[in-house]
Amino acid sequence: MIKKALASFLVLSLVLGMTACSSSDAAKEPAETAPETAAEESEETAEEAEAAVPAEVPQEAREDVISYLTDGVYSSGDEVLKVGETSVLADEILYQIAYQYYQASYYYYQYGQAFDVNGTAEDGTPYAELLKRYGLDSACANAMGREKAREMGLTLSKEDAASLSGYTDNRIKAYGEYQWTQAVEAGTVVEDDFSEEEKAAWITEKGTEYYDDDLLYLSNTRAGDAASYEKYLYTTRLESTLFDEGGEYALTAEGLEDQIRDYMDSHGVLWGRCILFPKEDSAAASAEGKEAAEKTEGPSPEEAARETYEELAALEGDALREAFTKKQTEFDKSGYTAGEIQQYTNTDSLVDGYYAGLQALKPGQVGITEETDYGWFVLLREEDNPDSLKETVSQDYRTSTFSSLFTKWLEEYGIDYDTIMTDLDINAYFEKLAALQEAVSAAQSQDAGAEGETELQLAP
């Protein structure tokens, strides 16, 4: 209710300048007219049936998706560059680029829009080039993590080494078991009709099918997927070595306190609670609210808010906090749970006047806003709680420091993204990728309808 934006979005989405459109912008379909003759009806039905047949996944894509999407410029397993002694395959880079495209499309879809990869960002950079850059950055960072781990002589734990050696088989099994569960729940597979051997064969067959389709969808291969996973494991091992207790970049207790202070200052962190007294037109927006408003006689929302503020302002300490919780239970329409303390920062998207109202108070004081878009807020500034920031600040420090190290290391190794895959027609790649994704999805949808299975489920 109070926060206009409840989730933080990917940096990618922000860079692309994503905006939401209202439902009123949606195009309206013209009304269908009935065919005048049986012949016309037959002809249209035939055309619809033909249009409904999904495009088949090209055999060339199944044989070598990397060669197919790059028009033969690269093939699966091609080494595009080396970071020290660590190879980076075309498969890995194209997967990262495709994944960036998938993420951008998904977030635009959430806002009712279609992502146009042929568009340009606010600074004039083509989206296709941005996605390529982000994909290269991810692939090279993974390789850099693997190379630094090698330089430091780091090895994988027994558990990680085992998961790596059985990675492909485990992926196939995971996909297959998911499909089995869905089929059993849908009633298209009766578990008692299968022996253990038949069930295992079914899981392997379906798991292989769906795993390979997932790879195709994101222009990847089994080799590329396994290579990326190996680099991920070593990068995670490197991070733990550098930042866990005793590591070169581990935070000391004093260092964490300094980081928390800096974080609180830079983000304007404060804690508080509120009681929202909504405007009368907001309360009467629904039929129920309107009926209640007509039957209720008493002070206006503003009068009720000011009376509550004056009553609470006469209290302090525990008496104030207890009374505030009771008033929240009685009046608050913000959607917050009574008694729960909320944390706010100067980067939150809040109702105008809300953050400033809290910021003007000292811990233990109450205040009231002027009329906002939602009504009047009675505010309580709570005591600062820096200990609650330990996990957030520690992770923020870890992420930002690790990112800075990668930037420095890549520069030291002379990695220049502008010189990598310059012979790749990125626009043609995305055009073929979109068509391939549509074909894969259509084929899976058709199979799901025919066999009662679920459609393609992309793995995280």
pLDDT one-digit tens code per residue, 200-243: 999 999 999 999 999 999 999 999 999 999 999 999 999 999 99
pLDDT tier at 130, thresholds 50, 70, 90 = very high
Task: Report the alpha-carbon distance of residue 70 to residue 400 in Å, rounded.
Answer: 34
Looking at every residue in the chain, the average pLDDT score rounds to: 85
Angstrom distances, CA of residue 174 to CA of 92, 102, 401:
21, 22, 34
Architecture of the domain spanning 270-383: Roll (3.10)
Q: Are 68 and 219 in contact (CB under 8 A)?
A: no
What average pLDDT does range 98-113 have in this prediction? 94
pLDDT one-digit tens code per residue, 147-168: 999 999 999 999 999 999 999 9
| Structure confidence at residue 449 (pLDDT) | 57
For residue 156, report the phi and psi dihedrals to the nearest 5 degrees. -80, 155
Biggest alpha carbon distance in the chain? 84
- The beta strands (E) that lie in 135-286 are given as 270-278
Looking at the chain, the whole-number percentage of residues with pLDDT higher than 70 is 81
Q: Are 373 and 276 in contact (CB under 8 A)?
A: no
Task: Report the alpha-carbon distance of residue 173 to residue 181 in Å, rounded.
Answer: 12
- pLDDT at residue 61 above 70? yes
**Structural element, H or E, at residue 96:** helix 90-110
For residue 3, report the phi and psi dihedrals to the nearest 5 degrees. -80, 125
Look-up of token digits 């960036």? 100
- pLDDT at residue 276 above 90? yes
Lowest average pLDDT, out of 53-67, 356-370, 416-430, goes to: 53-67
What average pLDDT does range 174-194 have in this prediction? 95
Task: Report the alpha-carbon distance of residue 378 to residue 312 in Å, rounded.
Answer: 9
Other CB atoms within a 10 A radius of the CB of residue 457 amount to 13
| Structure confidence at residue 14 (pLDDT) | 33
Look-up of token digits 């000292």? 362
Q: Are 444 and 455 in contact (CB under 8 A)?
A: yes
Domain with CATH 3.10.50.40 in the chain: 270-383
What average pLDDT does range 304-317 have in this prediction? 96
What predicted TM-score, i.e. pTM, was given to this entire model? 0.76
Three-point CA angle 107, 111, 115, nearest 5°? 55
- pLDDT at residue 50 above 70? no
Q: Are 375 and 277 in contact (CB under 8 A)?
A: yes
Residue in 262, 226, 246, 208 with CA at minimum distance from that of residue 91: 226
| Structure confidence at residue 298 (pLDDT) | 78
Residue in 174, 168, 54, 205 with CA at minimum distance from that of residue 458: 174
- pLDDT at residue 311 above 60? yes
- pLDDT at residue 306 above 70? yes
pLDDT tier at 444, thresholds 50, 70, 90 = confident
DSSP β-bridge partners for residue 380: 273, 366
Q: Are 298 and 304 in contact (CB under 8 A)?
A: yes
- pLDDT at residue 12 above 50? no
Residue in 120, 64, 67, 13 with CA at minimum distance from that of residue 429: 67
| Structure confidence at residue 5 (pLDDT) | 28
Angstrom distances, CA of residue 132 to CA of 63, 101, 115, 435:
24, 9, 15, 18
